[in-house]
Every structure is written in structure tokens, then in C-alpha cells.
Chain A
């Protein structure tokens, strides 16, 4: 196995980019099929509150970020299932409140020296060995869970009621999926930043839906597109000296537009 501690910052960036985009690609299929794009936006933006809290308390923003993202994810789920609040209203309220809290925390911490910009827009070159380990652990854990419950996740995405009646642990899996999303969002922040995370959760799946007619193909295409865009975007950004996160997202957006244009031909054979 490669010794993660001896890698140079460029190699670390590349390995991190591959792992994170691999995760996003797999997850993106479900985000698109379950129409959870806006939840992705909500969870990722709410992580800002947690990251800022980390600065204020002087702890690793990863943990406070995960805490906040999880809390908001579960609040959204709770509001949606237990109250009469509409899901998108709940998301709109919770993520805005969480970002506002983040600004207050930053103000209180007077941490002008921290890389807020890096958290907002990603700074993959700043990934150290510790972050790489965190990413690796999340990647292995999340992929194992998705693989273990793949069949049930598909069923529940397709038809939640029938899945429930057939004995699928729907509620547990819904919460598990939110936990997974929160974890993936946090590690993806390293790659593209809080503002752009949702792009990686949505666009690969959307591209794959344009191209694939079978679910398994869709997962593979989504993953391939995500990894390809991350690696390609990183190299492109290095070559033309663009911000890396933004370049990755722009590559994805262009691919989405291209495949959307191709869709009518692909699907009328």
C-alpha cells in the first residue's frame, strides 16, 4: 500500500480527489434518483456553521462540521416526517440559519488568519496526511454500507411504501442515508469547498441518467464521470492556473450540457 505520509502535496491532492469523487459518484446516483439534490445543498451549506464553530473552539473543523451537517440533516428529516412543514421550506430555513450561525462564530472567534476562503471554495492542495486518512476511512466505510444495502436502497428509492410493506427497514435506511450524505459532504468540502459540494452530489448522477439505461450502468457511469472530472479538472486547473474546485465543477457542468444534448439520440434507438 502507498504510504500516505510520504506523498507530496500534489499526489495527496490527486489521491484525495479520486477517493472523494469516487464516493460522490456512487452516492450521486441515489441523490438523483431520490430527488435529494436540495437536501445536498442544505446539508453542505449548513456544514459552514460547524466549520466556523471548529475555528471558534479551536478543534478540527471536520468534527464540528460533521456534527452540524448531521444535526441539520436529521432536523430536516424530522421536520418532514413529524410536522406539517414542507421539506424544501425546512431545508431553506435550517441551512440559512446554520450559515448565519457560522458567520457569528467567525465574528466571535476573530480568526482572521484561518483559511475561511479555503473551506468555502475548496483548497485541495492544503490536504495533509491527516485529512487524507479521514477521507480514506469515510470512503471505505460509506462504500461498504452502500454495497451492503444496495438492493434495499434501490427499492426504497423506487417505491418507499412497497419497500416498507415488504419488510425493508425504510426508516433506518433513510436516516443512514442522511448520515452518509453528511459524511460525504464533509470530506468533499476539502475538494471543492462548501459552496460547490452539492455539484458533486448531483451532476455525476444527472449525467449518468442521461447516458445509462440500467441502474448498475448508471452507478458505474456516475462514478466514472465523477472521478474523471475530478482528475481532469485538477490537471486542467493546474495547467491554466484556475481554482481547482471551480474547474472540476465547470467540467461536470459542461459534460452535463453535452450529454443532455445527446440524450434524444441515445434514447431513441
Chain B
């Protein structure tokens, strides 16, 4: 579990995050949603320590991350996997070498053991016959799956996904979402995903935090979101006429059922 309390961050005069507090639970896909510029990426970067928060506390399973010694922080980071928006695969390495990289760096396993683990995780993300290919030879969805395989190869306790669906078609997005959900449940990982993809919100949002202009505007689950009464959240989630109608129909059904 990751506890976030009172996180604030400014760049110059611009306040990007203003007193954000929430708990991200284990075995659940925790979503951070919000429009572009709402502070989603900065929040996720603060949580993983890529950006230093101006104030507030972040605790990984009760351990203070902000004031942690460098040595302890390095050790904790071996338990963190991250899937980046652009995949962030190493261009000069093949798929196999990319996935093997954390194993090479942090384990003393034999080459056979490492290869076995690499093939295992590549199978897990449904990638076959791509071991010797370079990232430039892969499609967007395949790159995301390789990046996911690399993120989970060391059996992380915490998985961060920064807009994993950006640039993907709806079907491929769904494949990635379902993989993340399965892996989260299977290994009881604390997953934090940052997205503005509504399919992802409805498919995998066990716990959702909605940011609006750097502030936490709403918190709940994908079940609660349909019936929420927050005008900003409704404008964001049900932006199109079609979705507004779908929400109204669902509300009417619920009201009828309650009567």
C-alpha cells in the first residue's frame, strides 16, 4: 500500500499539485485521472521520486519514501516497475536484452535462469517470436507489452503505468489494460496508473482519484463514477453527447430499480 498525504508541488509560480492525499491499495488498480495539465504525471513522478515534492509524505508500506536514505531508496526501487508512456525501451538492445537488463543488473542468476525468466514474462504478456527483434521493429502495442514484461521481470511490489494506452487503438488498449489487471491481482501488486482513457477507467478502475487543476477533486471506484454528482468529473468523463446519454439511461435504470 502507498499512502500519500499532503503532496504539493510548484514549478516557479505555477502550483501543479496542491495538497493531494490518498491511499493506493495493494492488489488493486489505482487510477489517477484528469485532463491534460491537471498534474497526473507530476504526481506519479513525485510518488516514484523522479520529481521532488515541495511538501507532504509518501509511505511505501508504512516506510517514509521522501526522507529515505539514498541506499534504502535504491533498494526500494528494485521493487518498483514502471511502464512509461513512450515505453522507454533501450533502442540499442533487443527485446530479450531489454527484459533481461534488470536481471543482469540486480541478480546473480545464471544465463539459463535469466533466459527462462525472460521467456516466462514474455509469454505472460503474450509476446512470442520477438526475442531477437529491436524496439524499432515492433508495433506500439508490442512495445508496451515488452515494457510491461521488463517492469514485472523482477516481481515488483509496486507497478506504475504512465498513460499506458496513449497512441494505441481501443482493442490493443483493452489488451494492455486486462494484462495490467491480471498481473496486479495475480501478484498482489500495488498498481498506480495514470490515464485519460475512459475505457481504462471503466475497465480497470478499482480505485480512482480525479485531479482537477492540481487538486484532488473526487475519489471513488469505477462503479461510483457513473452515479457521481461532481460537475467537473462529469464534464471530464462524460464529455460526449453519447456518453452523457449512456449515463442518463443508467441513472434512470437505477432509479426505476430503486422504486
Partners in one complex: no
Residues of A within 8 A of B (CB): none
Could you list which residues of chain B lie within 8 angstroms of chain A, going by C-beta atoms? none
